């Protein structure tokens, strides 16, 4: 535990953007269930397939989502900070990767709008983590 205290509703936008976006009445209901905890570096907060027991709203730093590949190695698939879930890539990196995929004829990408041109080839070009995290 730490000496850090749960912020009031008007302090939240600088602490956690998701909680800060709640209307004051909703935040007042939620705050009663919040506990402030400190996490250790590389501490596991949830394992896939296990019941979700806690929800985390980072106030500083970030949490990584990892997936285990077939060879047993792990790869980071996203990061979660006080803004919520992020892509884990900077805008210049997204532009480079999107350009590469577009040059290969797999997608079209223009001003933030992405269209998949050849899904089968795009899936073949992705790492195995795509299949492990696929929802639909």
Give mean pLDDT, residues 2-31. 72
- Residue 135: pLDDT over 50: no
- Residue 113: pLDDT over 90: no
- Model confidence over 42-94: pLDDT tens digits? 899 888 888 989 888 888 788 888 888 888 888 887 788 877 767 556 667 67
Least confident of 3-7, 15-19, 73-77: 3-7
Give mean pLDDT, residues 35-43. 87
Length of the chain: 136
Q: How far apart are CA 114 and CA 108, in angstroms?
A: 6
Q: How far apart are CA 69 and CA 71, in angstroms?
A: 5
DSSP assignments along 6-57, one per residue: PPPGGGGGGT-HHHHTS-HHHHHHHHTT-------TT-----TTSPP-----
At residue 98, the pLDDT reads 84
By CB atoms closer than 10 A (0-12, 13-18, 19+), residue 66 is middle
């Amino acid at each position: 535990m730490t000496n850090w205290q749960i912020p009031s509703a008007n302090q939240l936008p600088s602490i956690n953007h998701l909680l800060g976006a709640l209307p004051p009445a909703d935040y007042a209901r939620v705050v009663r269930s919040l506990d402030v905890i400190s996490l250790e570096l590389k501490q596991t907060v949830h394992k896939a397939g296990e019941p979700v027991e806690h929800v985390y709203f980072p106030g500083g730093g970030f949490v990584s989502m990892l997936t285990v590949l077939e060879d047993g190695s792990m790869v980071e698939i996203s990061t979660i900070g006080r803004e919520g879930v992020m892509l884990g890539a900077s805008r210049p990196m997204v532009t480079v990767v999107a350009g590469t995929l577009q040059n290969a004829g797999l997608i079209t990408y223009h001003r933030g709008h992405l269209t998949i041109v050849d899904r089968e080839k795009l899936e073949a070009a992705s790492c195995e983590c795509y299949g492990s995290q696929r929802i639909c």
